[in-house]
Structures are given as C-alpha cells and as structure tokens.
Amino acid sequence: MSEPDREPTEKPTTSKDEAEREGQWMARNWIGIAVVSILTMLLVVIAAMQFTGVMDVFAPIAETETQQWGVFFALAVVLIILAGWSWKAIIN
C-alpha cells in the first residue's frame, strides 16, 4: 500500500460551520463552471451561425467580416480568461 493510500488527503468535516463554508464554496465554484460552460456553448453557436453565413451576429458593431471575426475572437479570449479564473478557484 502506498503512502497516499494510508491517510486520506481530505479530512472529514467535523463542525457545522465548516460544512456550511465548504458547501458554499462548492456551490460557488460549480456555478462558475456552469456559467462558463453555457457561455462556451453560446459562443460555439454564434461561431457556427457566423461561419455559415446564416446571420451576421456582430453586424451592428462591426461592418466588415474581418471586424466581426475580430469581435468574436475578443469574446473568445474573454471566455478563456473567465474559464481560467473559474478553474483556478477550484484548483486552489
């Protein structure tokens, strides 16, 4: 039996306050992941509509196709930063 198997990395919660804090922490982080997942799917749908020419989603704020893709990639960068922030909260 290896060393990590002998002693668990996480100890059981012993107090009600600690359990509530842990529950709130888990809820906040999983909500963050859910929001990032929903926004990712929305961005994929927007990219598909933009790529196929079904509609020009960013036409009101960008005139040329290059500008529209630029706005799309700026949103993708923001989404990547948001995803990194939400995952960082879970890892720490």
- Dump pLDDT digits (tens) for 51-89: 887 877 777 888 888 888 888 899 889 888 888 877 776
d(Cα 69, Cα 75) in Å, to the nearest integer?
10
Segments making up each domain of the chain, as ranges: 28-91
Helices of type H across the chain: 3-6, 16-52, 65-91
pLDDT of residue 36: 85
What predicted TM-score, i.e. pTM, was given to this entire model?
Answer: 0.62
Integer Rg of the chain from CA: 21
Contacts of 89 (CB under 8 A, 6+ apart): 28, 29, 32
